[in-house]
Amino acid sequence: MKGKGAYMQKIREFSAKELVAERKKLKRELYDLKVKNSLKGLKETHKIGEVRIKIARINTVLTSKLS
């Protein structure tokens, strides 16, 4: 995936509160994308997967910060 290293480096610099806020924002975006996809068909369905991967990366960094 293009830009993976830069995104990981960026989120590693976030505090735990910022990571939780970013995860919440991305979960809302994922919900909106899924609703749009089910109602009228989303043309860029790859974005759903991209957002899911970003959430997983944030969860990974958050877990390492909290342990």
Domain that holds residue 61: 18-66
Q: Is residue 31 part of a domain?
A: yes
Give the Cα separation of 67 and 65 in Å (integer).
6
pLDDT band of residue 13 (cuts 50, 70, 90) is very high
Q: Is residue 61 part of a domain?
A: yes
- pLDDT at position 67 is 86
Q: Is residue 3 part of a domain?
A: no
Q: Which residues of 8-43 are buried (b: 16+ CB within 10 A; e: fewer)?
A: eeebeebeeeebeebbeebeeebeebeebeeeeebe
Please give the backbone phi and psi of residue 14, each rounded to the nearest 5 degrees, phi first: -70, 150
> Residue 32 has which token pair?
């909106």
**How many domains, in total, are found in the chain?**
1
Average pLDDT of the residues of the chain: 93
pTM of the model: 0.89
Q: Is residue 37 part of a domain?
A: yes
- pLDDT at position 2 is 59
Q: Is residue 1 part of a domain?
A: no
